Amino acid sequence: MTVPSGFDSDTLARYRALFSMITSGEVKLLYRSNVESVNVVWKTKNFILFAAFGPLVRRKIVIQSITKLLTWLRKGLKILTTWRLHDGAVF
């Protein structure tokens, strides 16, 4: 398989391993840290979130960043839902 642009084979292998772990059982949250990166995978009933950070990023910053991302997504979803209902757009 060809590695997508912007990814190296190690990154793709790490993604595949995390995806396998999160989808194969009852695990809902993974936090993995090594010398190359910090990776978080969170499975909910609606989505699976993958987040990757530099190896020196502290856990507190990781949590704050994911919280900001989820807040931003929720606001965007409300805007899209409102637009869809008022303008008849289909997403």
Residues 15-66 have pLDDT tens digits of 899 999 999 988 899 999 999 899 999 998 888 999 999 999 999 999 999 9
The pTM of this model reads 0.72
Q: Which of 79, 77, 38 is nearest to 60 (CA)?
A: 38
Cβ proximity of 31 and 59 under 8 Å = yes
8-15 own/partner pairs: CB under 8 Å, 24+ apart:
10/36, 11/37, 11/52, 14/39, 15/50
